[in-house]
A and B are shown apart, each in its own frame.
Chain A
């Protein structure tokens, strides 16, 4: 294993900024800042529980756009695989996060910080599944598909 492209300072700094956002949500309305849950529950249309989700998601897009514009080096994007892979991946992420009850932010950041056993199992599972998938795609199939 070679370690390459490691960017410890931006990674830690960005992580702290993400954590601050999650703390803000906790302070404002006591919710867990898990992005999959914030997206999915927009569609449940629970009165009084929809607007903040939409605003938060719009803010994410605006925050991304502003950061890409102000610091162009953050806008690096090496692209996505083919359309078929992208749609399959999105679908699996959608189904999986609803069944598993969270994603990298909800389980990986908030849940682990809260000492949730569920989140620990979820994180270990999705990390392992992601690693196996990348191994198969890149080193067994040879990366030709992506």
Chain B
């Protein structure tokens, strides 16, 4: 039952990305291409998700704890350092090169396209290397 809940939550996420068109790299690159033919769709995807999370989160956080135990996240940090900015810049460059961020990349594994597997494999390699060199607690 627990297992099914996470499988279901993941399926909802993948479904949402597909409905939003974010599994198509062209839509993402269209958003990032400000000086060309601009496609603002991604901003609405983020806005819709963010607003839903904001409202839904208020309801959920009335509980003492999550249903499967553990605890809710603490107050967010506002501390900004070189690692945060540098890392985000590297991520942005990779994002702009292929139009893929981690969510759409994972969801697109459903296509059984070798290039998508290549992207995800390289991404995991990059993650493991970064954790090895700089520590995992990001």
Contacts and interface: CB of A to CB of B under 8 A. Distances in A.
Contacts, number: 510
Interface residues of B, number: 116
Interface in A82-137: 83, 85-105, 107-119, 121-123, 125-135, 137
DSSP class of B's interface residues: helix, strand, loop or mixed? helix
A98 B96 contact: no
A99 B102 contact: no
A90 B88 contact: no
Interface in B8-67: 8-27, 29-30, 32-42, 44-54, 56-57, 59-61, 63, 65-67
Interface in A42-80: 43-44, 51-52, 55-68, 71, 74-80
Looking at B5, B56, B90, B130, the one whose CB has the most chain A CB atoms below 10 A away is B90
B107 A61 contact: yes
B17 A28 contact: no
Looking at B6, B77, B108, B121, the one whose CB has the most chain A CB atoms below 10 A away is B6
Contacts of B123: 39, 90-91, 93-94
Contacts of B38: 1-4
Nearest to A69: B110
B14 A60 contact: yes
A31 B72 CA distance: 7
16 contacts: A1-B37, A12-B45, A13-B48, A14-B48, A18-B52, A23-B53, A25-B6, A33-B9, A59-B14, A64-B110, A78-B24, A80-B116, A86-B122, A97-B127, A99-B130, A132-B96
